[in-house]
Amino acid sequence: MNDDLTECFNNVRDTFNSALAHYQIWYTLRGKGKAIENYIHEMDDYRYVDFFLAANSGNYKLMFIETASLFDSDNRTQSIRSLKTLMNTYGLNEISDKFEKNLKPYSELVSNIKTIRSRVIAHKEAGIDPSELYNKHGIKPDDIRDMLNIVADLLRELESMLTNNSNSHSVGATDRWEQATFKLLESLHSERHS
């Protein structure tokens, strides 16, 4: 394969891994049935509360920024769109079509994520009530997770093609960031009770 396809894949993969990491950390800290229910005392500890407030806010914002970057439509960026163009250029039309087909059901979600990113997170548009915008666009964390899982599957399939089916996968479709967040909270919990 050509170097520009590999370079674009690597950049899209890195953006994806970052989006997934920020999603998992944020959702583990704030999501229903996750850490907040069992580790609220550790997160509210005066020694750590500022860290967890900043981590929650930062990961939330970066989740939107990185996920929107995956679907950037600017021709100057390396996104899924430019990756599909390069796949078609190098005769990988079948996998490019698979990206199109499997991600099409998420087009409204992607549009909503970009709107929130642009109007509330990246630019803080004047006269916008963020809560109204969130209600209007109704983004659900489970939908983001499902879409990121589809992207992971597609990127792994493309990576297999680019690396001649080698077993080394660099696409982070695991729960490793969620597990790392829980391990940190478990350590803080153990410290508080020792």
Q: What is the mean pLDDT of each run of 10 residues along the chain (194 residues)?
A: 88 95 94 90 94 94 95 91 96 96 96 89 75 74 92 92 75 84 94 83
The whole-number pLDDT of residue 146 equals 94
Residue 124: per-residue pLDDT: 74
The pLDDT, as a whole number, for residue 166 is 67
**Which pLDDT does position 5 carry in this prediction?**
94
Q: Which long-range contacts (CB under 8 A, 24 or more apart) does 52-59 make?
A: 55/25, 55/29, 56/26, 56/29, 56/30, 59/22, 59/23, 59/25, 59/26, 59/29
What is the structure's pLDDT at 173? 62
Q: How many Cα atoms within 13 Å fall on the side-chain side of residue 4?
A: 11
- Overall residue count recorded for the chain in this entry: 194
Q: What's the pLDDT score for residue 172?
A: 65
pLDDT at residue 148 in the model: 95
The pLDDT score that the predictor gives to residue 119 is 83
Residue 78: what residue type? Q
